[in-house]
Structure 1
C-alpha cells in the first residue's frame, strides 16, 4: 500500500507541471504528456518515487536521524515551518544563507550570538544599556531570529535535507551535494533530478500539493519518533530588506538564491 493514494495526488494537483517553455530536459522521464502548454507529470512514477523516498525518511527517522526542512518560497514557508516544528526538526524558511551547511562552524557562532542576546533580553540586563544600544541589539536579535532561529538547536550537520523546489533552493542543494548529505525534494518540471537523491516529482508551487507531501513526511517522522519536540525558536516574520554578510557577521558565501517563478 502506497503512502499516498493516486486520488490524493490528483485532488492536490500534484500532476500539474510548469509551462512547456520553462522546463529541464533531464526531467523528461517523469513527464506524462503536455496539455495546453503545461506539462503533466506522470503520477504513476510519482507514486513509485514517493514509496522509495518515504521508505528512506521512515528508516532515517527510526534511527534518530535529523532532517533539515527547507522552503523559502512564499507558498511553502508556513507549511514547512509548521511541519518542522511538529516533528521537532530544524528548518529554514526566510532565506538560505550561503554556508549554512558548508560553513556550519561559522553559522554556529551566529547561533551562539543569538543565545547571548536572548539571555541579555530575558534577564533584563538589556535595561542597563543606553537606549540607542538597546535598539541596535534588538534589531540584531530580530535579524538573527529570522535567519537562524529555525536551526538554533541543530548542533551538527543534518543527516538529510528536505526541500520544496530544488531549483529555488539551488544553493542549499549544492551545499548538501558537496558534503554528501542526501537531498529529498518535491521537484517540478524545471528541476534537475540528477542532483536529488530522493525525488518526489510533483507540483512545487501549489499550496495543496506542497501541503500534501510535506504533511505526509511530517506524519512519517512523528510516527517513527513517537512525537516531535520543537527544536527552534519563535519565528520572526521577514521583511523585504536584504541582510548582507556584514550585518550578520558571516564569513561564508551569502549569495542570495535566485527566485523561481510561479505558475502562469
Structure 2
C-alpha cells in the first residue's frame, strides 16, 4: 500500500498534474483521479504503487549487472536525467534519439568506436601527422559523436530495459524497444498510451520537479541493486576463501596424521 509520506512528496512535486482533458488518451483512464479546471488529475496512490513496482524491477536488473538506458530529450528533462543516470552509472540519451539506436545497434557501436579511434590517434601521435584541415574535420566528427553518443560509449551490448520520460515525444525509441521485446519503464502523462509500456508510472512528464522526483527514485533503486550485487560478490569471495582455508586445513591435518 502507498505510503502517505511518499504520496505527499509526489503531491508537493506536482506529479499529479496531467494534460488538458481534450488531449488525453482514454487508455490512461484507470490512473486518472478527477478533472479540475479542464485538466486531468492523476491518482497519486496509483502512481506510488506503480513507482514501487518499477523500483523493484529496476533493482533486480541492476543487481544482475545489466544496463538500463535512460531516454529524455525534452529541454526540462535533459539535465535531470543526465545527472541521475550518471550517478547510477547508467547510459542515457538526452540529445536527438539516433534512429536505429536499438534495431541497428551494430552501426551505432561502429560510430562509438570511431570516437575511441580518434582518442587513440591523439594518444599515439598519429593525430599530429594530419594536416590542419584534416584535424579540424576529425575534431568536428568527434564533437558531433560525443554530443549524440558520448553517454552510451560504455554500452557494449543491448540494454536490458529503457526508462523513458515522455513516450509521446520518444515514440521512435518506444517502437524500437517494442520491436525487440525490450521492457519499457516510463513516466506516463495523461496523453500517453500505457499499453505500450511494461512498467507504467502515471506522472506529470513536463514539470522539472516531477521528473526529478521520479527519475531520482528510479536511479536510487538502481544504485541499491548495484550495492546488492557488490555485497553478493563479496559474500561469494569470502565463502570461496573460507572453503579454500578449510580444505587447506584438512589437507594439513591429514599429512600430520600420516606422519
**TM category, shorter:** 0.7 to 0.9
Partner of 1:5, secondary structure, is helix
Residue aligning to 2:50: 49
- Work out the CA distance in 1 between the residues paired with 2:94 and 2:122: 25
CA distance in structure 2 between the aligned counterparts of 1:223 and 1:46, rounded to whole angstroms: 21
Aligned-pair distance for 1:52?
1.5
Counterpart position of 2:134? 133
More helix by share: 2
Distance 2:208 2:123 in 1: 37
For the pair shown, the structure with the greater C-alpha radius of gyration is 2
Q: What residue is the counterpart of 2:116 in the other structure?
A: 115
Instruction: Return the alpha-carbon distance in structure 1 between the equivalents of residues 38 and 125 of structure 2.
Output: 60
Q: Distance in 1 between the 2:2 and 2:89 partners?
A: 25
The alignment status of 1:157 with 2:162, answered yes or no, reads: no
Q: In structure 2, how many angstroms separate the alpha carbons of the residues matched to 1:51 and 1:216?
A: 9
Counterparts of 1:218 and 1:76 in 2: how far apart (Å)? Answer: 14
The correspondence of residues 89-108 of structure 1 with structure 2, limited to 5 A, is 89-108=90-109
- Cα deviations by residue, 1:70-120 (Å, 9 ceiling, x for unpaired): 111111111111111111111111110110000001111101111111222
The whole-number CA distance in structure 2 between the counterparts of 1:121 and 1:76 is 34
Kept after mapping to 1: 8 A contact 2:204/2:210: yes
Distance of 2:177 and 2:91 partners within structure 1: 15
TM-score (norm 1): 0.83
CA distance in 1, matches of 2:48, 2:220: 17
Cα-Cα RMSD = 1.7
Q: How far is the alpha carbon of 1:2 from its aligned partner? A: 5.0
Show CA shifts across 1:123-168 (max 9, x none). 4432221111111111100000011111111111010010111111
- Alpha-carbon distance in structure 1 between the residues aligned to 2:129 and 2:65: 43
Instruction: Give the equivalent residue in structure 2 for 1:181.
Output: 182
Matched position secondary structure for 1:226: helix
Q: Which runs of 5+ in 2 are unaligned?
A: 229-259
Structure 2 CA distance for aligned equivalents of residues 166 and 69 of structure 1: 12
Cα distance in 1 for partners of 2:144, 2:35 equals 44
- Assess if the C-alpha contact under 8 Å between 2:54 and 2:218 holds in 1: no
Q: What residue number does 2:17 align with? A: 16
Provide TM-score, normalisation by structure 2. Answer: 0.84
Q: Is the 8 A contact 2:186 2:199 kept in 1?
A: yes
CA distance in 1, matches of 2:109, 2:65: 22
Residue 212 of structure 1: aligned partner:
213
Give deviations 1:158-188, integer Å, cap 9, x for gaps. 1001011111111111111110100000110
